Amino acid sequence: NAGVTQTPKFQVLKTGQSMTLQCAQDMNHEYMSWYRQDPGMGLRLIHYSVGAGITDQGEVPNGYNVSRSTTEDFPLRLLSAAPSQTSVYFCASRGADTQYFGPGTRLTVL
Amino acid sequence: LAKTTQPISMDSYEGQEVNITCSHNNIATNDYITWYQQFPSQGPRFIIQGYKTKVTNEVASLFIPADRKSSTLSLPRVSLSDTAVYYCLVGAPIGGATNKLIFGTGTLLAVQP
């Protein structure tokens, strides 16, 4: 049981590049979400999903896409990276008694 | 969505009890109150959740007054390893009907020897 895993741990992009941050959970949780955390700030909700095939926007969805084709996976796509998207990204999965967060992906956009 | 207000920071010493208060004046009838802990370079970790009165687990207690417009996280006998940011959230309960969970700015607790 690995919990919530995220890849990569670190990533550097150039402005305009696209990439996908991977998130997977092995706890059969329906609810998954993506947050970003800027230095010295709290977490802000980007997108979330309440089950396979169902996604919705959070507080700061612009510039990001998500899909949920399986219960286990919830990838986050950056369509055209911008320096303002430099942040640490956390994926979370929620079950019956707690919410688990992944270790995070530290993204730098130059 | 109910907004929460917490102190930006608090200081304490090892062995003391620490109480962190969160204000949530527009909490909805179905909302629960959940607290998370975050260490640097790690994702948040669930601490405790409650709806009303008092909830206690092995790491903390949560006190919620009758009007539910505020809540207090109580950490007994803190140690240096309790130095972290603590977030108060208001919304759907863990395992319940799903909706957005919004984090506030949190409270940085600094524990000194």
Q: Is A61 on the interface with B (CB under 8 A)?
A: no
Per-residue CA distances from A67 to A8, A57, A110 (Å) = 18, 11, 26
Higher pLDDT, residue B31 or B60? B60
Most confident stretch, A30-39, B2-11, B73-82: B73-82
Per-residue CA distances from A104 to A92, B21, B70 (Å) = 10, 28, 30
Backbone angles phi, psi at A83, to 5 degrees: -55, -30
Categorize the per-residue pLDDT at A54 as very low, low, confident or very high, splitting at 50, 70 and 90: very high
Whether residue A7 has pLDDT greater than 90: yes
Which residues of B have a CB under 8 Å from any CB of A? 36, 41-46, 87, 94-95, 98, 100-106
What mean pLDDT value characterizes chain B? 89
Dmax over CA atoms of chain A, in Å, equals 40
Give SS3 for A62. Answer: coil
Which residues on adjacent β-strands are paired with residue A78? A19, A64
pLDDT for position A2: 67
Q: Find, in chain B, the residue whose alpha carbon is nearest to that of A31.
A: B98
What residue ranges in chain B does DSSP mark as E strands? 9-13, 18-23, 32-38, 45-50, 53-56, 61-64, 70-75, 84-91, 107-112
Q: Is A35 on the interface with B (CB under 8 A)?
A: yes
pLDDT for position B1: 56
Q: What is the pLDDT of residues A68-98, one digit of tens each?
A: 999 999 999 999 999 999 999 999 998 776 7
Q: Find, in chain B, the residue whose alpha carbon is nearest to that of A89.
A: B43
Question: Cβ distance A24 to A102 under 8 Å?
Answer: no
**Contact residues on chain A for B98, CB-CB shorter than 8 A:** 30-31, 48, 50, 94
Contacts of residue A16, defined as CB under 8 A and 6 or more positions apart, other chains included, come to A80, A81
pLDDT for position B97: 53
Q: What is the percent of chain A where pLDDT is above 90?
A: 79
pLDDT for position A35: 94
Question: Cβ distance A77 to A68 under 8 Å?
Answer: no
Q: Which residue has the tokens 């600094």?
A: B110
Q: Which residue has the tokens 């995070």?
A: A104
Whether residue B40 has pLDDT greater than 60: yes
pLDDT for position A39: 84
Q: What is the pLDDT of residues B51-65, one digit of tens each?
A: 999 999 999 999 999
Whether residue A47 has pLDDT greater than 90: yes
Q: Which residue has the tokens 């369509």?
A: A79
- How far apart (Å, rounded) are the C-alpha atoms in residues B60 and B79? 13
Q: What is the pLDDT of residues B73-104, one digit of tens each?
A: 999 999 999 999 999 988 877 655 555 667 77
Residue A90 and residue B44: Cβ atoms within 8 Å? Answer: yes
| Mutate: best of A6, A28, A43, A98, partner B, most B CBs <10 A | A43
CB pairs under 8 A between A and B: 55
